[in-house]
Amino acid sequence: MKNRSLSFWLFLTPTLVALALVVFIPMLEGLFYSFTDWDGLSFTKMVGFQNYITLLHDKAFVNAFWFTVAFVIVTVIALNVIGLGLALLVTQKFKGSNFLRTVFFMPNMIGGLILGFIWQFIFTQGFSALGSALHAGWLENWLTTENTGFWGLVIVTVWQMSGYIMIIYIAYLQNISQEIIEAAEIDGASAWQRFTKITFPMIAPAFTVCMFLTLSNGFKIYDQNLSLTGGGPYNSTQMLAMDIVNTAYNASNFSLAEAKAIVFFIIVAAISLIQVFYNRKREVDL
Amino acid sequence: MSKKSTHLIAVLGALVGLLWLFPFYMIVTNSFKTPKGIFASVLALPHPSTGRNYVNSFKALHFIGSLTNSLIITVCGVLLIILCSSMAAYALQRNHSKLSGALLLLFISSMLIPFQSVMIPLTANFGSVHALNMWGLMFMYLGFDCSLSIFLYQGTLSSIPFAMDEAAEMEGASRWQIFYKVIFPMLSPMTVTVAILNIIAIWNDYLLPSLVLPQAQYTIPLQMFNFFGEYTKQWHLALAGITLSIIPVILFYLAAQKWIIKGVTDGAVK
């Protein structure tokens, strides 16, 4: 199709218009408003970097930032270890391995909001029942402290996303030819040697894919946060996305929320760009 | 592998599987209990069991209405995304100029932008033209989700030889006919992937619809959130509501599992 042909533009119009109106124009407006005293409807003056300076001293934002960073570090490690573990488990030949795949992936179909509600019941009711039955005090009063709220969010995320990560690892595991494994077996390699010397190097690309996927997902989590802890107690378990929503729609501080949203964009975009460059480099190296 | 270690792995698998299913056991069994039954023991099977919780939460959730809204928004939104993104991908892939390269890069770069970074001006703008309703929402989904879909379609299109287009053109087909009758059917495997990814995302979405939809058009997640706020201390009703709201998803998953797994893998790996 030629650039100047009418059909070229007709085919592209719906998506280009939607992309402009839904993503790019609001993004640019938001960038502009972050330098003003916008109240959601209008603004009176430009304020320079004032909102960005305020944000650096904003306790809620700084706390949300470090809480999110800690959450991301823990979930990236946990999801990759457990996801790979599940993938290795269900790719063994035994009765019921297909059924297990179905089970492990199932939580991923359910939205984060409902997952949070499900686990709220388990943490507050189920855990305390287990705790009193086993006389284990640490199982009681979950979600009432920052610490239990943190681990609660980690558990929900691991339960939800491990199956997803598992599927990606399975896709790479199935690409490894059985002949190489059998040849190594004949040469006398132990199961551990086969895993570290053959399987692990061959699924290294999957590790990159999964790491960046869990990394950027972790930063963007909102629904689970809202329904599991609601950010409480006292906003101590509030993550970045939730802090932005609350600054805008609860505190009605729209220009500050915009500045936070721009910082949020820079963090998330940086992660994705590092991934793109990393992948390029790897492809060149190969 | 020896027989003994196969057994050992099967046992390990069963244990991990049970651990994974435990939350489902908890919500389903407790949803059939009376408040007293839950108080007595959350771990036991329901005794005596009751179906009343379902009747009550079915009404409180306006289940038929919210299910209908969820279905309309998901189905129409996904059809819109499939149609528009496959058209755009076709135009971009069959045009080998700097312009189409730049446009593709524009689409891909939009995937870097997180939702929270655009939501405030976006909802303000749509509000000012009275488009905060399910039709406006579908259009927003097109804007947010077309990029990944175009990217996925592009990959498949490059494997369809240009000779197909030329043959149809020789027989006098218009550009639209070539696309609709020749190219689009050949894209079906990717269309399934695009559909699956968008169905899961749109069906479960909470934040965007909560900012856009009026109460009469509430979807299942929005209705759940309201419902939960009212019944937090009444777990017997809340759990019946949760179970009701995940039944459609589980049925869809069990029916289309093969395509779902393929779609999710394609979406992540490509």
Does the beta-carbon distance from B150 to A89 stay under 8 Å?
no
| Residue A285 confidence (pLDDT) above 70 | no
Nearest CA in chain A to B200: A109
Name which residue leads in pLDDT, B215 or A181. Answer: B215
Does the beta-carbon distance from A110 to B239 stay under 8 Å?
no
| Residue A128 confidence (pLDDT) above 90 | no
| Residue B1 confidence (pLDDT) above 60 | no
For residue A46, list its beta bridge partners: A36
Mean pLDDT calculated for residue range B100-125 = 93
The DSSP-derived string for A111-142 is -HHHHHHHHHHIIIIIHHHHHHHHT-GGGSST
For residue A36, list its beta bridge partners: A46
Q: What tokens appear for B166 in the block?
A: 């030329």
| Residue A286 confidence (pLDDT) above 60 | no
- pLDDT at B2 (0 to 100): 67
Mean pLDDT calculated for residue range A86-94 = 90
Q: Which of A9, A12, A238, A273 to mutate to test the interface with B (most CBs of B within 10 A)?
A: A12
Tokens 């199982």 correspond to what residue?
A139
Q: What tokens appear for B170 in the block?
A: 């020789």
Mean pLDDT calculated for residue range A82-95 = 91
Total count of residues recorded for chain A: 286
Query: Rounded to whole angstroms, what are the CA distances from A165 to A177, A216, B201, B203?
Result: 21, 14, 17, 21
ipTM attached to this prediction: 0.90
Mean pLDDT calculated for residue range A149-170 = 95
Say if pTM beats, i.e. exceeds, 0.90.
Answer: yes
The DSSP-derived string for B5-66 is HHHHHHHHHHHHHHHHHHHHHHHHHHHTS-HHHHHH-SSSPPSS--SHHHHHHHHHTTHHHH
Mean pLDDT calculated for residue range A24-34 = 95
Name which residue leads in pLDDT, A45 or A115. Answer: A115
**pLDDT band per the 50, 70, 90 thresholds, residue A281:** confident
Sign of CA dihedral B171, B177, B183, B187: negative
| Distance (Å) from the alpha carbon of B249 to chain A's nearest alpha carbon | 7
| Residue B3 confidence (pLDDT) above 80 | no
Mean pLDDT calculated for residue range B159-179 = 90
The percent of residues above 70 in pLDDT, for chain B, comes to 99
Can you tell me the distance from the alpha carbon of B263 to that of A140, in angstroms, rounded to the nearest whole number? 40
Mean pLDDT calculated for residue range A228-254 = 91
Does the beta-carbon distance from B265 to A93 stay under 8 Å?
no
**Do residues A139 and A128 lie in contact, with contact meaning Cβ atoms separated by under 8 Å?**
yes
Domains present along chain B, CATH in parentheses:
24-60+232-270 (no CATH), 67-218 (1.10.3720.10)
**pLDDT band per the 50, 70, 90 thresholds, residue A283:** low
Cα angle: B233, vertex B234, B235; to 5 degrees:
100
- pLDDT at A1 (0 to 100): 62
- pLDDT at A2 (0 to 100): 61
The percent of residues above 70 in pLDDT, for chain A, comes to 97
Can you tell me the distance from the alpha carbon of B18 to that of B29, in angstroms, rounded to the nearest whole number? 15
Provide CB contacts within 8 A for B245, sequence distance 6+.
A114, B61, B220, B221, B224
| Residue B208 confidence (pLDDT) above 60 | yes
**pLDDT band per the 50, 70, 90 thresholds, residue A161:** very high
Name which residue leads in pLDDT, A229 or A41. Answer: A229
Name the DSSP letter for residue A109: G
Coil/strand/helix, residue A221: coil
**pLDDT band per the 50, 70, 90 thresholds, residue B270:** low
Q: What tokens appear for B29 in the block?
A: 């069994």
> 10 Å Cβ neighbour count for A22?
24
- pLDDT at A276 (0 to 100): 79
Q: Mean pLDDT over all residues of chain A?
A: 90
Q: What tokens appear for A69 in the block?
A: 């960073």
Can you tell me the distance from the alpha carbon of B185 to that of B179, in angstroms, rounded to the nearest whole number? 9
CATH of A52-285, one of 3.40.50.150, 1.10.3720.10, 3.90.1280.10, 1.10.10.10: 1.10.3720.10
Can you tell me the distance from the alpha carbon of A246 to that of A238, in angstroms, rounded to the nearest whole number? 10
Taking the domains of chain A in order of start, what are their residue ranges? Answer: 52-285
Please give the single-letter amino acid code of residue A220. K
Find, among A141, A60, A114, A132, the residue nearest to A228 by Cα: A114
| Distance (Å) from the alpha carbon of B214 to chain A's nearest alpha carbon | 16
pLDDT one-digit tens code per residue, B104-114: 999 999 999 99
Query: Rounded to whole angstroms, what are the CA distances from A136 to A133, A139, B191?
Result: 8, 6, 51
Q: What tokens appear for A239 in the block?
A: 């993550």
Nearest CA in chain B to A211: B268
Does the beta-carbon distance from B117 to A264 stay under 8 Å?
yes
Can you tell me the distance from the alpha carbon of A23 to that of A234, in angstroms, rounded to the nearest whole number? 33
Name which residue leads in pLDDT, A13 or A128. Answer: A13
Q: Which residues in chain B have their CB less than 8 angstroms from residue A11's CB?
A: 87-88, 90-91, 175, 179
Mean pLDDT calculated for residue range A141-161 = 92
pLDDT one-digit tens code per residue, B225-249: 998 888 777 888 999 999 999 999 9
- pLDDT at A136 (0 to 100): 79
Of A12, A18, A111, the CB nearest to B142: A18
Q: Which residues in chain A have their CB less than 8 angstroms from residue B269's CB?
A: 168, 171, 209
Mean pLDDT calculated for residue range B95-99 = 87
- pLDDT at A199 (0 to 100): 83
Can you tell me the distance from the alpha carbon of A251 to that of B212, in angstroms, rounded to the nearest whole number? 19
**pLDDT band per the 50, 70, 90 thresholds, residue B4:** confident
Cα angle: B239, vertex B241, B243; to 5 degrees:
70
Coil/strand/helix, residue A231: coil
Can you tell me the distance from the alpha carbon of A252 to that of A129, in angstroms, rounded to the nearest whole number? 41
- pLDDT at A115 (0 to 100): 94
**pLDDT band per the 50, 70, 90 thresholds, residue A223:** very high
Pick the most confident of A174-188, B127-141, B251-265. B127-141
Mean pLDDT calculated for residue range A174-193 = 84
